Amino acid sequence: MPALLLIAHGSRDPRHAATVAALVEEVRALRPGLEIATAYLDHCAPRIPQVLGRLDGAAVAVPLLLNRAYHAKHDIPAALRAAGSRLPVAEVLGPSPLLLASLDRRLAEAGLDVASPTVRARTGVVLAAAGSSDPAADAATRAVAAAWRRTRGWAAVEVAYASAAGPRVPDALAALRTAGAARTAVAPYLLAPGLLPDRIAASAADADVLADVLGPAPEVAALLLARYDAARLATPQVPALTA
């Protein structure tokens, strides 16, 4: 079976790499015996060329990304090409019902009774994402918000962005209250702690509930394996490095 090469963005914040390592352990628990390696695009080590040199056999690259934006479309393919690799690259994580389930999990851990239809019908949620200069990526985030509201019965779900263009979290919270939400919650649509999650948390002081980032949620680990399986079954297995 080919190795799983998890490619994360990387951050100067040490919590980012610690979260990625915890997520890898969740994946290992679900698939014992699977070789898993981690590489980073920026800020953290090891980088892609270093890791590819350690992989003897075939591998599948799996981006640790929620949306198909610049990093997925350009940075990862370019980094693999520069390293002399033709590895198959799996789809990004989003959208997926498993991500909605992980958002539910984090809200429940923050104290919101997500199992109660009455509570959901009274609660407006801010889906707080990083934001992107790619209109298709932001459209995908809005589609996630719409699906989350439709399938869970929230009073409303508003999207906010921590970077790029607005709206920001305070704007989204105000829109929820204008729409009649009795309670508000902020759910970061981000995978690991860092600058942007901290920015979201600092701007969510008026929310009744603030969830944690998705992090090493079991649903995220299962989704990584689903993306890996789909890619390895769809493409011929090739060595990590091509002569």
Average pLDDT over residues 55-80: 89
Tell me, yes or no, whether 197 and 123 share the same domain: yes
Residue 128 has pLDDT above 90, yes or no: yes
Q: To the nearest whole percent, how much of the chain has pLDDT over 90?
A: 81
Asked if the structure places residue 112 within a domain, the reply is yes
- Residue 137 DSSP symbol: H
CATH of the domain at 31: 3.40.50.1400
Contact at 8 Å (CB) between 60 and 88?
Answer: yes
DSSP 83-102: TT----BPPPS-S-HHHHHH
Helix (H) or strand (E) holding 173: helix 169-178
User: pLDDT digits over 131-186, tens only?
Assistant: 888 888 899 999 999 999 999 999 999 999 998 678 999 999 999 999 999 999 99
**pLDDT attached to residue 132:** 85
Residue 43 has pLDDT above 70, yes or no: yes
Q: Which residue segment(s) compose the domain that 78 sits in?
A: 3-94+217-234
If you average pLDDT over every residue of the chain, what do you get? 94
Tell me, yes or no, whether 88 and 102 share the same domain: no
Residue 83 has pLDDT above 70, yes or no: yes
Tell me, yes or no, whether 192 and 171 share the same domain: yes
Helix (H, G, I), strand (E, B) or coil at 33: coil
Asked if the structure places residue 240 within a domain, the reply is no
Tell me, yes or no, whether 118 and 178 share the same domain: yes
Contact at 8 Å (CB) between 60 and 91?
Answer: no
User: pLDDT digits over 102-117, tens only?
Assistant: 999 999 999 999 999 9
Residue 242 has pLDDT above 90, yes or no: no
Contact at 8 Å (CB) between 87 and 5?
Answer: yes
Residue 71 has pLDDT above 90, yes or no: no
Tell me, yes or no, whether 108 and 206 share the same domain: yes
Alpha-carbon distance 131 to 195, whole Å?
13
| Structural domains in the chain (count) | 2
Asked if the structure places residue 243 within a domain, the reply is no
Identify the bridge partners of residue 212 per DSSP, sorted by sequence position: none
Helix (H, G, I), strand (E, B) or coil at 159: strand
For the chain, the straight-line distance linking the first and the last C-alpha, in angstroms and rounded, comes to 21
Q: What is the pTM of this model?
A: 0.93
Asked if the structure places residue 241 within a domain, the reply is no
